[in-house]
Chains A and B, each alone.
Chain A
Amino acid sequence: MFDDLNDIYSVFWADLRNLKRHWQPTVAGSLVLPLLYLAAFGYGLGRNTTIYGVSYLTFVIPGIVALTAFSTSYEGSSFKLQVDRIFYQSFDELLLSPISLGSIVAGKSLIGLIRGLISAISIILVGVIISPMLMISPLFIFVLIVSCFVFALFGVFVALVIDSHQRMSTFNNLVIVPMTFLCGTFFALNQMPDAAKAALYTLPLTHSSECLRASALGQPFPWLSLMALLGFGLIFFVGSVVALKKASV
């Protein structure tokens, strides 16, 4: 167990080193879009609107936190991994080292987790200043950590399964971008038709949005969604290990 943790940190070490060197542009870049969403949807469109007894601004902030956690964690673990694997082929360095595939997957996801947390916490800080009603409880922090980890594993999985930059770009346009808007980030899913709602519950960001919003607004907590989120994490982890095994066939 200790050896595995050591291996996971060793895999993470190179990405951490890189983040330390470039942390300012990396963090600043990941904050631009969420802050624009906050300005456009929160202040621009929803300033005078209330939903479920709270202002739309208060309602939308947990969704934007979920969106930030999702996009930054996913991009943080997928982009460099795919470039290193396909373009530079430097990912072979990991495959040639005497560590387990599980440690490689976990280690490569940690950079997404850390980047997602940094960006999401920055948005939370902005959020609690402009909307003091938000409750940042231990449960909220726990869900945020789980969300970032699951989304980072999702990024690792996608980077290992998709074999070209072109397909990656297509996948991002067809799946990732719609997810950021539709998974309960900017509106409550109750407003959606049943079929659309059922489809959206098959996506991890929906469950993350519901959990973060419920804990931030003091609503009944959707424990089933938390279980679903953990289930997605397990699926992405196992899927990534299988993808690595298949890569050597």
Chain B
Amino acid sequence: MKEFVLTENLTKRYGNVAAINELNLSINQGEVFGFLGPNGAGKTTTIRVMTTLTKPTSGSVQIGGFDVVKNALKVKKVIGVVQQHLSFDRDLTIRENMEFHARLHHLRPTERKRRINDLLDYVELSEFADRMIETLSGGMKKRAAIVSSLLHKPQLLFLDEPTAGLDTQSRRRLWDLIRQLNTDGTTIFLTTHYIEEAEALCGRVGIMHHGQLISLGTPMELRKQLGLVTVETLVDNKKTHYQYFTDRSAANLYAQSLPPETKTVIVRDSNLEDVFVEKTGEKVGDT
């Protein structure tokens, strides 16, 4: 597959602190790539550099063959960005915000109108199009933000924590939308705190910690590195202990060998959350 994002020794320093430290990463066209990491790991800084909002200290980022520093305007034409905070103008309706975005991206009037109507239909927001942004639910706002970022048909869509703070139904609805966009050919770069979201959506994930990429691969590859089966035991009714095994028979043998007073023994498939915790030393949600 064709490489669409390429970072080489990408570094961003704030004083003596490296928010991104020598990041080397490539993302192929058509991929859904998940970027995980605790708060302060460097995820948002990486997105800001990739989307031209922040300049790197050293190293480079190429998007669609364009350098983000030297060809920022060209990069902006091929990317769409949905930030964690909504970048809508609160004094405008959804339709007006979308028109504003379309104007800024040089869409002609007839195309503007058609794309706005089509995309609002696509996410079932047509009947709310003329309502002020603040009157919508969180899920509606996010859907509106995503389709707004699609108006200029970006090849690469950055989604920074797209489902943060949403209820389960809204989250699943957004997952379907993201899958549909990817099926339609959009490459997606996603950051999330929800491990199940990364597992549900991403072909590959990278785990960032203290500005460094500490793990990279498909969810299955990362689970294999750790061990596909996990044994959870509760020690002294206080602390849960995790052991990882390559297969279920080895895990069962270990579980049976535990002293009878060991409480709450669970044998289960390991998941990305286990990988995340083991790699970063932080539990998801503690961050």
Spell out A's residues near B (CB within 8 Å). 6-7, 10-11, 13-14, 17-18, 21-22, 80, 84, 88-100, 248-249
Is B88 interfacial (CB 8 A cutoff)?
yes
Q: Mark B240-281, 1 if CB is under 8 A from A, else 0.
A: 000000000000000000000000000000000000000000
Which of A22, A91, A97 is most buried by chain B, counting CB atoms within 10 A of its CB? A97
Inter-chain contact A11/B104, CB cutoff 8 Å = yes
Among A18, A88, A90, A99, which residue has its beta carbon within 8 angstroms of that of B104? Answer: A99
Chain B residues with Cβ under 8 A from A80's Cβ? 91
Inter-chain contact A13/B76, CB cutoff 8 Å = no
Is B70 interfacial (CB 8 A cutoff)?
no
Give the docked Cα–Cα distance between A57 and B83 (Å). Answer: 54
Chain A residues with Cβ under 8 A from B79's Cβ? 96
Q: List 14 A-B contacts (CB under 8 A).
A: A7-B104, A10-B103, A14-B92, A90-B90, A91-B87, A93-B87, A93-B104, A95-B52, A97-B101, A97-B104, A98-B73, A98-B74, A99-B73, A248-B52
Is B89 interfacial (CB 8 A cutoff)?
yes
Closest to A92 in B: B87
Inter-chain contact A248/B54, CB cutoff 8 Å = yes
Chain A residues with Cβ under 8 A from B88's Cβ? 90, 93
Chain B residues with Cβ under 8 A from A21's Cβ? 91
Among B73, B74, B85, which residue has its beta carbon within 8 angstroms of that of A88? Answer: B85
Identify which of residues 45-88 in chain B touch chain A, using a CB-to-CB cut-off of 8 Å. 51-55, 73-74, 76-77, 79, 81, 83, 85-88
Classify the secondary structure of B's interface with A.
Answer: loop
Chain A residues with Cβ under 8 A from B103's Cβ? 10, 13
Give the docked Cα–Cα distance between A100 and B76 (Å). Answer: 11
Inter-chain contact B89/A98, CB cutoff 8 Å = no
Inter-chain contact A14/B96, CB cutoff 8 Å = yes
Closest to A80 in B: B91
In the complex with contacts A10-B104, A11-B104, A98-B106, A84-B89 CB distance below 8 A: yes
Among B52, B74, B89, B99, which residue has its beta carbon within 8 angstroms of that of A93? Answer: B89
In the complex with contacts A10-B104, A89-B87, A96-B92 CB distance below 8 A: no
Chain B residues with Cβ under 8 A from A14's Cβ? 89, 92, 96, 100
Spell out B's residues near A (CB within 8 Å). 51-55, 73-74, 76-77, 79, 81, 83, 85-92, 96, 99-101, 103-106
Q: Give min CB distance, A242 to chain B, whole Å.
A: 14
Inter-chain contact A95/B53, CB cutoff 8 Å = yes
Among B77, B83, B96, B105, which residue has its beta carbon within 8 angstroms of that of A17? Answer: B96
Give the docked Cα–Cα distance between A14 and B99 (Å). Answer: 9
Closest to B75 in A: A98
Known: A96-B87, A98-B105. 18 other contacts (CB 8 A): A10-B100, A10-B104, A11-B104, A14-B89, A14-B92, A22-B91, A88-B86, A89-B85, A92-B81, A92-B87, A93-B88, A93-B89, A96-B79, A97-B105, A98-B104, A100-B73, A248-B54, A249-B55
Give the docked Cα–Cα distance between A100 and B106 (Å). Answer: 13
Which of B52, B79, B87 is most buried by chain A, counting CB atoms within 10 A of its CB? B87
Closest to B48 in A: A248
Give the docked Cα–Cα distance between A44 and B55 (Å). Answer: 57
In the complex with contacts A90-B86, A90-B87, A90-B90, A96-B55 CB distance below 8 A: no
Inter-chain contact A248/B76, CB cutoff 8 Å = no
Among A10, A11, A96, which residue has its beta carbon within 8 angstroms of that of B76? Answer: A96
Chain B residues with Cβ under 8 A from A6's Cβ? 106
Give the docked Cα–Cα distance between A96 and B53 (Å). Answer: 7
Q: Give min CB distance, B152 to chain A, whole Å.
A: 9
Inter-chain contact B51/A18, CB cutoff 8 Å = no
Inter-chain contact A93/B101, CB cutoff 8 Å = yes
Closest to A245 in B: B55
Among B85, B89, B99, which residue has its beta carbon within 8 angstroms of that of A18? Answer: B89
Inter-chain contact A90/B53, CB cutoff 8 Å = no
Q: Give min CB distance, A102 to chain B, whole Å.
A: 12
Inter-chain contact A92/B100, CB cutoff 8 Å = no
Q: Give min CB distance, A46 to chain B, whole Å.
A: 40
Inter-chain contact A98/B76, CB cutoff 8 Å = yes
Q: Give min CB distance, B27 to chain A, whole Å.
A: 19
Chain A residues with Cβ under 8 A from B105's Cβ? 97-98
Inter-chain contact B96/A96, CB cutoff 8 Å = no
Closest to B74 in A: A98
Inter-chain contact B54/A18, CB cutoff 8 Å = no
Give the docked Cα–Cα distance between A99 and B103 (Å). Answer: 11
Give the docked Cα–Cα distance between A18 and B74 (Å). Answer: 30
Chain A residues with Cβ under 8 A from B52's Cβ? 95-96, 248
Inter-chain contact B77/A89, CB cutoff 8 Å = no
Inter-chain contact A96/B81, CB cutoff 8 Å = yes
Closest to B83 in A: A92
